[in-house]
Amino acid sequence: MNELKVGLPAPDFSLPTTDGSMIRLSQYRGKKVVLYFYPKDNTPACSKQAQAFAAAFDQIGRLGAVILGVSRDPIASHAKFTAKLGLPFQLLSDAHEEICRLYKAMKEKNMYGKTVMGIERSTFIINEQGVLTHEFRKVKVSDHLEQVLEVLKPMDNVIH
């Protein structure tokens, strides 16, 4: 697997999706990919983030990109979350945290006085050639969609 670094090919992976199929990141060559990692289905911030991406789904598609959401939740949870919010894109289940770790999205968090490992809200933009062009860490849901759209609009394989 590849090293995770802007300007290098994004590490490929295969995960199960909401619709029960398996997808590989490499199958999206020729399109931009908005790959986002989020902590948990049916939580307020994760719901707000998913709804923002859903609202911009057509616009992101017109910019030549697909959206893929990743969390540790099982497919059954993803299916309920997708149905509840009417999400038009696939959610991927990384139950064993392999891809979360590969993309360095697993971080120590302090929850109720205990240190736990959890997903840090992160987004990666991958260009049509499969190269990682942008990464967003410690994502704040409130302005994140605008950041993603800004990156996708002028994206001519420029690496920032």
Q: Which of 25, 33, 34, 46 is catalytic?
A: 46
What's 17's DSSP letter?
Answer: B
Whether residue 46 lies in the annotated active site: yes
Q: What angle do CA 136, 140, 142 make, to 5 degrees?
A: 125
Instruction: For residues 64 and 127, give the distance between their C-alpha atoms in angstroms, rounded to a whole number.
Output: 10
Instruction: For residues 138 and 123, give the distance between their C-alpha atoms in angstroms, rounded to a whole number.
Output: 9
Instruction: For residues 73 and 82, give the distance between their C-alpha atoms in angstroms, rounded to a whole number.
Output: 12
Catalytic residues: 46
